[in-house]
Amino acid sequence: MNKTASPYSIVSLSTVSKIYKQGKIEVKALDRVTLKIKKGEFSAISGPSGSGKTTLLNLVGALDTPTSGSVTIEGIDLSELTKTELSILRRNRIGFVFQAYNLIPVLTAFENAEFVLALQGIPEAQRRRRVMGVLHDVGLSGMEHRKPDELSGGQQQRVAIARAIVPEPAIVLADEPTANIDSGTADSLLDLMQLLNKEKQITFLFSTHDNRVMERAKRLITMRDGIVSADEEP
């Protein structure tokens, strides 16, 4: 594995393009995008539907591969990793928060948050300490034994945030995390993520249409037609 990116850049994209084929038609989802995300950033990617936001997030999350260009995470070029190594990287270094929560319905809040740590082979006592600490941090103390259908939408998203941060990843990718919850709950969750970013230096990268997320972002990356049309720190 070649370490080609600055150690201060958790994520680095260099002239990345992504082309999808729809029959005989080629659709360029990303067009030579170059971007760096540094440790501790609280950044948002915005833009209209079809602008390339989700594609970019999928490439950063090692869920997809670029047609050309390179994507590195903590200096590791993803193109040099096997499928197994990519899976391990996603498990250990990337946290995901989705708009649909994606919790396992038969598991409790504790078990959902613990799941990745169990896959990592962390001893049970250590897993329990870490999970209980994180559930406390996200405001779910006393709810650890509830299953997803016993929790509100906002509480389910808090479990999803706990699951994302408990492995202590390099970066948390949040894809429209406020889309399925009311405005008061969304503000509460954004308060929580800002606090985690400030106190624990957890790096967050959002894909969003939500003005509330954009207003809170320390850096706003705007996409249009597969390119970065603006990159500013409000």
Tell me, what CATH number does 201's domain have?
A: 3.40.50.300
Higher pLDDT among residues 23 and 58, named by residue:
58
Contact 11, 72 (CB under 8 A): yes
Q: Do the strands 219-224 and 25-38 form a parallel or antiparallel pair, or are they unpaired?
A: unpaired
Does 82 map to a domain?
no
Q: How confident is the model at residue 6 (pLDDT cuts 50, 70, 90)?
A: very low
Share of the chain above pLDDT 70, in %: 96
Does 137 map to a domain?
yes
Higher pLDDT among residues 17 and 6, named by residue:
17
Q: How confident is the model at residue 181 (pLDDT cuts 50, 70, 90)?
A: confident
- Mapped onto helix, strand or coil, the DSSP state of residue 220 is strand
Q: Tell me the torsion sign for CA atoms 64, 68, 71, 77.
A: positive
Q: Which domain, by its residues, includes 198?
A: 41-58+90-232
DSSP calls for 27-62: EEEEEEEEEEEETT-EEEEE--TTSSHHHHHHHHTT
Q: Examine the pLDDT at 207 and tell me if it is beyond 90.
A: yes
pLDDT (0 to 100) of residue 13: 97
State the pTM of this model.
0.90
Does 197 map to a domain?
yes
Q: Which amino acid is at 8?
A: Y
Q: Examine the pLDDT at 208 and tell me if it is beyond 70.
A: yes
pLDDT (0 to 100) of residue 2: 43
Q: What is the number of domains present in the chain?
A: 1
Q: What is the mean pLDDT of residues 38-65?
A: 94
Q: What is the mean pLDDT of residues 36-47?
A: 95
DSSP calls for 79-137: GGS-HHHHHHHHHHHEEEEETT----TTS-HHHHHHHHHHHTT--HHHHHHHHHHHHHH
Does 11 map to a domain?
no
For the chain, state the CA radius of gyration.
18
Does 69 map to a domain?
no
Does 84 map to a domain?
no
Q: Examine the pLDDT at 18 and tell me if it is beyond 80.
A: yes
Does 140 map to a domain?
yes
CB neighbour list of residue 218: distance below 8 Å, 6 or more residues apart: 41, 42, 43, 233, 234
Q: Tell me the torsion sign for CA atoms 162, 209, 224, 221.
A: negative
Q: How confident is the model at residue 233 (pLDDT cuts 50, 70, 90)?
A: confident
Q: How far, in Å, CA of 102 to CA of 160, rounded?
A: 8
Does 13 map to a domain?
no
User: Starting at the edge strand that comes first in sequence, how are the strands of the sheet with 76-77 ordered?
Assistant: 25-38, 9-22, 68-73, 76-77
Contact 66, 18 (CB under 8 A): yes
* Residue 19 parent element (H or E): strand 9-22
128-165 pLDDT, tens digit each = 999 999 999 999 999 999 999 999 999 999 999 999 99
- Range from 68-72, 83-87, 191-195 carrying the lowest mean pLDDT: 191-195
Burial 203-222 (b: 16+ CB within 10 A, else e): bbbbbbebeebbebbebbbb
pLDDT (0 to 100) of residue 1: 43
Higher pLDDT among residues 43 and 2, named by residue:
43
Q: What is the mean pLDDT of residues 65-79?
A: 96
